[in-house]
Amino acid sequence: MWWKRKRAEGLLAASLYEELSAEERQELEKALAYSKTLRDDAEFLHGLVHAIPREAPRLGTDLTVSLHARIREAGAPAARLHIAKRTLSFAAAILILAAGAIVYISLPLGEPDPAGAIAGRPAPPTLMDQTLAKADSLLAAHQDAEAYRLLKAGFEGQPQDPRADEVLWKVASLAFDLGKYSEALQAHNQLRQAPYYAYLESSPERLQVANFRRDLLVEAEAANFRPLYDLVSAKNDREHTLARLEEVIVGNPEKLVADLAAEEMGRALIAESQQETGGAVAYLDAMKTARERCTNPYALALLDYKIGEIYRNEMRDANAAEVHFRKALENPQMARRAQDALGSLTPAAQ
């Protein structure tokens, strides 16, 4: 509606003069995300602000023609110079800003900028740069939900921005962490498309995490993401964490969420050790303790398999890995994975 547009224009103009409140900043960012016209206005105005020199050189000519020419060169959308700053008109705001710009334009032709400030000044941050910076501040303050909403709106408003791939990655990660699994799956699917996939490929670790989470989400979608909700519920049960995690394993045999639940057992025991003694046990020791507390045969076999992976991948101890893979091999539901794992070991270890 027109009054919402006027409100957004007023906030934009106000932001040139003063720091907006958190509520006003959020309202403006939302408006910018959904209006290309408003984004163009913002980009022009911020560019004009940065073009105003800090020190005024001497005056010596009529500046009107030069000012108009420079604004045209900057690509100013002249038809848009009507935004209102709360009680001050947007046109007045432009005139105030232009007054500073006139000083710069008034330098005699051929006379260089005495300080070289304009030519050497870095380009002002884009709206996406500002969105990422604001999101980082929110994350540092543990306001993950607010950061997610800001980044999601930023990506939807500017999906072709050069930094949109980075924003989409953060959106996908935050959606997963916040339990917004349907939105997380959508974001992970988008990441697999051009041009965003190149961002994943630039980091093998990031690509591995993205692929695993997408496979996990696709798998859980068939059950309306219930296995993932059960996993979160088990992790949050401080009194029966290990028992609840074992239930997730048993209820989802041969599923990726079962592997996550097994790994979470080790992390839960590390956290328990930190609370009780102030020190952390090694992850391998925690996983061995978790295995001792399991009662279900499939859960025992899966823990043996995960312990074998630690020996193989992190400690490079093929002999110890073989011991645990062979224990896992005894369980029919783990036999295929255990056999493949044994095949990955060096011949000497077999």
* 231, pLDDT greater than 50: yes
pLDDT of amino acid 157:
93
Contact assessment for residue 283 and residue 310, using Cβ atoms and an 8 Å cutoff: yes
Angle between helices 2-15 and 90-105 (to 10 degrees): 40
* 313, pLDDT greater than 80: yes
* 85, pLDDT greater than 50: no
pLDDT of amino acid 32:
73
State what percent of residues in the chain have pLDDT above 90. Answer: 59
Residues forming beta bridges with residue 88, ordered by sequence position: 85
pLDDT of amino acid 237:
94
Rounded to an integer, the average pLDDT of 272-294 is 82
Mean pLDDT computed over every residue of the chain: 79
Q: Residue 323: is it exposed, middle or buried by C-beta count within 10 angstroms (0-12/13-18/19+)?
A: middle
Rounded to an integer, the average pLDDT of 292-311 is 96
- The Cβ-side half-sphere exposure at 211, using a 13 Å CA radius, reads 9
- Claim: this prediction has a pTM higher than 0.85: no
Rounded to an integer, the average pLDDT of 247-253 is 97
* 180, pLDDT greater than 70: yes
* 95, pLDDT greater than 60: no
How far apart (Å, rounded) are the C-alpha atoms in residues 98 and 49?
Answer: 9
* 67, pLDDT greater than 50: no
Q: Which residues, 6+ apart, have CB-to-CB distance to 81 below 8 Å?
A: 90, 91, 94
What domains lie within the chain, and their CATH numbers? 2-124 (no CATH), 128-296 (1.25.40)
**For the chain, what's the residue count?**
350
Rounded to an integer, the average pLDDT of 15-21 is 67
pLDDT of amino acid 192:
96
How far apart (Å, rounded) are the C-alpha atoms in residues 182 and 260?
Answer: 19
Which residue type sits at 31? A
pLDDT digit string (tens) for 115-125? 445 555 666 88
Contact assessment for residue 322 and residue 349, using Cβ atoms and an 8 Å cutoff: yes
pLDDT of amino acid 276:
64
57 or 266, greater pLDDT: 266
pLDDT of amino acid 55:
45
* 266, pLDDT greater than 80: yes
pLDDT of amino acid 109:
42
pLDDT digit string (tens) for 25-57? 777 777 777 776 767 666 666 655 554 444 444
pLDDT of amino acid 88:
39
